[in-house]
Structure 1
């Protein structure tokens, strides 16, 4: 069987699908990933064949310009001043649509898998008359969001003689059942298996810890848009906390943080799953992949939860009782230093740690990507027989 994975060109939206794509390949099926920008190279690095469906565009620069425009921030020297109208909202599905449909007509997949943001996959499935499967990426997306992004792709559907998308054949929910906030038709649970790319791991990750370790990250997008200012308060808290703080900020410029205390360790790109496996807690922005990787690791987390789907991810963590969410992240470095107290609670609140461990145990028994493959093959074959 042939499976096309349609991936938005951003780490946090593409990487969650990699374990399922690898599981299909391991089971002997053909896989192709359609994406664009730097995501093509990162897909290849994951050992998967990929095709650039929007050559010549830089989705990272365009999306960054759009985000800065929303926040009223001036562009950096040399940056594009404005993102073209419509770019980003459908996560470049419009830009990829024509090439991906053309590639699919020649390659002839039996099934398309896409994220809620990757609605170009739903367009391809409709154009070829094959089933599509939504691979969810977190707590923040529902069928309503998918419908909105399909609306943004209306011109693409019209160009291919389609009135709109066909209903999805299955919705793969990667959130722990006790935390799930969706009830989409044809929902199936799928264990979230962290994939964060490869990397050479430092020896200190495997040494006995003499004090607690807190991993700090802002993901791959927010440091580009906001710099490192959202974690300035963390450095302040580190000065009065007997713990090691690892700043995993993707090679961002840290000069704005000043001289770092001895218990703050900046690192270059490090696979997040491995870093969290060697940590005791985490502080992060609230991206879906980061949130789910922390849940899988069984770590208590402090989630900033600002922008995009991050508030939804933060709220889910807070409801489950396995993390803290500040009321006003901008005030964490205020005169009363509320960030220091939150870090103390993160390390000492046993209820947080217990809920985090329970959640990891729940995730561990969810159907794995390998378990899902034969079920999705059966779905594709049964719907194919009905076409």
Structure 2
């Protein structure tokens, strides 16, 4: 079979799709990803084809901000986010995406939850598509606006927005919103911490904690929200009491954080590294709340402190706090509040117990390989 994945051109949107893409690849299916050209090297290392279409994320964000006067990443109002995902991206990507997809001739399209190009291609080619969620269900106040904007673009091409044949859901029930009901066609799928092509498989639970005199804390704000003026105050506040492993995103360097003086021996900085390679020996994760980081850390039973910065991170923060698997520290509070939250989560074993309970639910979910087999059988 020929399976086409479609993604907004951002790591946080593409990486959660890789486990299922690998599963189809390992079955012997032909797999390709429809996204921007910058992801070519990453996908080549995975032995997965790239169908390059559309501008990069920074170009789409700039155009969406120009059209709305609002930065969709920093101020994710429903209208600004809809212009980015379902307006600007369709306008600047759809034609190239359709040309590329026609040549690939997919039997199934898998589109991440905020991707509206993949469903457009599915409608134009009359093939089924599966929606792959990130985490908790995105509130209707956003998705209704997304769909409304997408409908206008689809109508211009003589198409209607299709419903997904399957809703692939990596979110365990303990993290779902209050009053949550399973969407039609829901297929649970076990999430995992992102690993590179050479990263060994890791168990969903059972990561060893540091156990040293100082807690070992991973500070990771993903690839987009790693500005030193955001991270430096948190690093300075935590360094006196914890051993910190700080991720720098795609372009940051340790020099961005200046001289750490007496605390330098308790700090380590790493560039973009698969999350699965960073979690062993960690006692707690401090994060912006990207869905991949959140579910990846919780799949290993690690409690969290979530400091949301934008996008859908407030959803993950609320889910973690609601499950008592960690605490949320929303802005504009200062770094002292992050230190207080870290201290509380490390002191109270309830958070660790609840994080392990989430990990147990995740471990019981069907694996990506099992989901790939199920979808392939349904298509056959």
Equivalent position of 2:313 in the other structure? 310
Equivalence for 2:288: 285
Instruction: Pick closer, same or farther for the CA change 1:188–1:61 going to 2, 3 Å.
Output: same
In the other structure, the counterpart of 2:116 is 119
Alpha-carbon RMSD: 3.0
C-alpha displacement of 1:273: 1.9
User: Relative to structure 2, which stretch is displaced further, 293-302 or 100-109?
Assistant: 100-109
Q: Partner of 2:22 in structure 1? A: 22
Partner of 2:9: 9
Which residue of structure 2 aligns with residue 320 of structure 1?
A: 323
Report the counterpart of residue 178 of structure 1 in structure 2.
174
**Greater shift in the superposed pair: 145-154 or 11-20:** 145-154
Secondary structure of 1:286's aligned partner: coil
Name the residue aligned to 1:166: 162
1:59 matches 2:57: yes
Quote the Cα distance in structure 1 between the aligned partners of 2:65 and 2:313.
14
> Which position in structure 1 is the counterpart of 2:275?
272
Distance in 1 (alpha carbons) for counterparts of 2:191 and 2:366: 9
Of 137, 142, 145, which residue of structure 2 is paired with 1:148? Answer: 145
Structure 1 residues 67 and 290, CA, compared in 2 at 3 Å: closer, same or farther?
Answer: farther
Q: 2-side partners of 1:222 and 1:91: how far apart?
A: 22
In terms of mean alpha carbon deviation, does 281-290 or 205-214 score higher?
A: 205-214
SS at match of 1:266: strand
Secondary structure of the 2:173 match is coil
1:62 to partner: Cα distance: 3.9
Shift in Å, 1:358? 1.3
How far apart are the structure 1 equivalents of 2:209 and 2:312?
Answer: 35
Aligned residue-pair number: 357
Question: Residues 313 and 143 from structure 1, CA distance in 2 versus in 1: closer, same or farther, beyond 3 angstroms?
Answer: same
User: TM-score, normalization: structure 2?
Assistant: 0.84
Cα deviation, residue 252, structure 1: 1.8
2:222 to 215, 219, 228: 219
1:231 equivalent to 2:231? Answer yes
Report the alpha carbon displacement of residue 65 of structure 1 after superposing the two structures with TM.
7.5
Q: Residues 72, 4 of structure 1: CA spacing in aligned structure 2 closer, same or farther, 3 A cutoff? A: closer
Structure 2 residue matching 1:168: 3-state secondary structure:
coil
- How far 1:100 moved relative to its partner? 1.9
Partner residue in 1 for 2:76: none
8 Å contact kept, 1:234–1:339: yes
Higher mean C-alpha displacement, 2-11 vs 246-255? 246-255
Which residue number corresponds to residue 203 of structure 2?
none
Cα gap change, 1:67/1:292 in structure 2, threshold over 3 Å: closer, same or farther? farther
Q: Distance in 2 between matches of 1:90 and 1:254?
A: 37
Q: How many angstroms apart in 2 are the aligned matches of 1:191 and 1:291? A: 13
Go from structure 1 to structure 2 and tell me whether the alpha carbon gap of 1:72 and 1:356 turns closer, same or farther (over 3 Å shift): closer
Shift of 1:45: 2.7
CA distance in structure 1 between the partners assigned to 2:374 and 2:21 by the alignment = 14
Report the CA distance shift for 1:72/1:268 in structure 2 as closer, same or farther (over 3 A): closer
- Cα distance change of structure 1 residues 94 and 18 upon mapping to structure 2, 3 Å threshold: farther
Structure 1, residues 52-98: CA drift from partner, whole Å, max 9, x if none? 112xx33234426757963699xxxxxxxxx9x94455572432212
CA distance in 2, matches of 1:271, 1:374: 26
Greater shift in the superposed pair: 86-95 or 281-290: 86-95
CA-to-partner distance for each residue in 1:298-332, whole Å, 9 max, x for gaps?
A: 11100012321111110000010111112x53332
**Post-superposition shift, 1:339?**
3.2
| Shift of residue 265, structure 1, vs aligned partner | 1.6
Q: Which of 187-196 and 12-21 deviates more?
A: 187-196
1:271-296 C-alpha deviation (Å, 9 max, x unpaired): 11221233111101011111111111
Inter-partner Cα distance in structure 2 for 1:340 and 1:11: 28
Structure 2 unaligned spans of 5+ = 74-79, 201-206
Tell me, yes or no, if the aligned pair for 1:229 and 1:256 is still in contact at 8 Å.
Answer: no
Q: Distance in 1 between matches of 2:183 and 2:139?
A: 7
Q: Judging changes above 3 Å, is the alpha-carbon distance between structure 1 residues 153 and 44 closer, same or farther for their aligned structure 2 residues?
A: farther
Per the TM alignment, residue 152 of structure 1 is displaced from its structure 2 partner at its CA by: 2.8
- 1:45 match: 45
What SS class does the counterpart of residue 134 from structure 1 fall into?
A: strand
Cα offset, 1:142, TM superposition: 5.3
- Residue segments in structure 1 that go unaligned for 5+ positions in a row: 74-82, 382-387
Q: CA deviation at 1:51?
A: 1.1
1:101 matches 2:98: yes
Query: In the aligned structure 2, how far is the partner of 1:255 from the partner of 1:140?
Result: 39
Q: 1: CA distance between counterparts of 2:337 and 2:36?
A: 42
The question of whether the paired residues in 1 share the 8 Å contact of 2:111 and 2:131 is answered with yes
